[in-house]
Amino acid sequence: MVGSAALVWPCHASDAFTAERERMVREQIEGRGIRSPGLLRAMCVTPRHLFVPSHFRSDAYGDYPLPIGFGATISQPYVVALMTELLEPGKRHKVLEIGTGSGYQAAVLAQLADRVYTVEIVPELADSARKTLRSLGYSNVFVRQGDGYEGWPEQAPFDRIIVTAAPPEVPEALIRQLAAGGRLVAPVGSGWLQQLVVIDRKPDGTLHRSVGPPVLFLPMKRN
Ligand code: SAH
């Protein structure tokens, strides 16, 4: 059907969920127009069922977000794909994620970037994501418990920044921590639906802002 198909199928992973995961990627991700072979491959091999609470395991590859406790959710697979495609992560990139949640988005990014730094405000979620990622061998993901409005100044600048909870406006600290030539993707707005916003910092330092499709995210909390 598409040129990239031969690079991706079958999903080269073998666990009880491989067939479900392959169907998820074909129908929900590739079927809706995501074409990046690296991203399709990463989603093909990332065991999403190990990032959801055990009682939701059989729903892990459904076309919806799932609750992960503490009022948080693991995003719908398509939303993870859409934001990752907009982010355009590269193998040499240092990435910052705000809103670790389950750690699933970080795991997908870990396969497409050099290093992923991810900040989660809820201590229990930060701990469990750290454990999940470590047990699966994602050694290039670093989880910190903290307030994402501050970013991660000690590790700045970042080539890519992805925000997975919705702030009313893009936090100033995150824009400051974006490298020249870097890109930030965030769902922005305080209403029920938000707008995906893409901010590019040009090599000369100037900022360029564009707006993507509407999305539905949990609000980014203030401490
Ligand atoms: N990326 C996650 C889904 C994120 S859900 C995944 O792949 O599973 C949004 C997450 O943002 C929640 O875990 C929530 O606790 C966290 N969050 C909310 N406000 C935050 C803030 N100010 N700083 C950091 N994390 C925050």
Cα(42)–Cα(158) distance, integer angstroms: 21
pLDDT at site 9? 66
167 and 188 Cβ atoms separated by less than 8 Å: yes
User: How many whole angstroms from 100 Cα to the centroid of ligand 1?
Assistant: 5
Q: What is the DSSP string of 149-181?
A: GG--GGG--EEEEEE-SB-SS--HHHHHTEEEE
Please give the average per-residue pLDDT across 176-201, as a whole number.
Answer: 96
Q: Among the options 4, 14, 75, 128, which is catalytic?
A: 75
Residues of the chain with pLDDT > 70, as a percent, come to 96
Pick the residue whose CA is nearest to atom 18 on ligand 1.
220
pLDDT at site 3? 47
Please give the average per-residue pLDDT across 201-211, as a whole number.
Answer: 97
Choice from 221, 222, 223 to test ligand 1 binding pocket (greatest atom count within 8 A of CB):
221
What separation in angstroms does the CA of 200 have from each of 4, 127, 186, 206? 27, 32, 12, 8
- Identify the band that residue 1 occupies on the pLDDT scale cut at 50, 70 and 90: very low
- Identify the band that residue 100 occupies on the pLDDT scale cut at 50, 70 and 90: very high
pLDDT, averaged across the chain: 94
User: How many whole angstroms from 14 Cα to the centroid of ligand 1?
Assistant: 30
Is 133 touching ligand 1 by the criterion CB < 6 Å? no
Residues of the chain with pLDDT > 90, as a percent, come to 91
